[in-house]
Amino acid sequence: MIIMKKIIMILALFLLIQCTKPTEDPTTGSIEGTVFNFTTGSFIGGAHIVTSPPTSAVLSDTLAGLFKIDHVDPGIYRITAVKYGFDTSSVSVSVLAGQITTADITLRPDTSSVDTVKTVSYE
């Protein structure tokens, strides 16, 4: 009787294992990173992040400068960050299926459009 119960339990366990859905290999990866200020090292939030070839455009987190792009086909991508008041900057990354690729980007403050104040004297 005990042997019969063990056989039934083993068969039930075997059937349970056979009925589970096999795991599929992932076909896409993800890109995530942070946008930093080159001068201060602080985070830059609100930068527009775009990829070439195109995936989906995202906006970095408003405070921490974090971004993440999911469901990216494997390949080499150029990740570009654009933010008013900073020079545009890009990095290249290689995305592999089932992996998260890091793409941290550093932006330099734009010094070409320095505001000037003109003094006008009235005599």
Question: Residue 121: pLDDT band by 50, 70, 90 thresholds?
Answer: very low
Between 6-15, 50-59, 93-102, the lowest mean confidence (pLDDT) is in 6-15
Does residue 94 lie in a domain region? yes
Question: Residue 59: pLDDT band by 50, 70, 90 thresholds?
Answer: confident
Mind listing the pLDDT tens digit for each residue in 88-116? Answer: 999 999 999 999 999 999 999 998 755 54
Task: List the structure tokens of 122.
Answer: 């009235």
Sequence-ordered strand ranges (E) for the chain: 29-37, 48-52, 58-59, 66-72, 75-82, 89-95, 100-102, 105-107
Q: What values do phi and psi take at 106, rounded to 5? A: -110, 125
Q: What is the pLDDT of residue 7?
A: 59
CATH of residue 38: 2.60.40.1120
Does residue 122 lie in a domain region? no
Domain range for 66 is: 29-107
∠ CA 12-17-18, nearest 5°, is 95
Question: Residue 24: pLDDT band by 50, 70, 90 thresholds?
Answer: confident
Residue with tokens 């080499």: 76
Tally of domains within the chain: 1
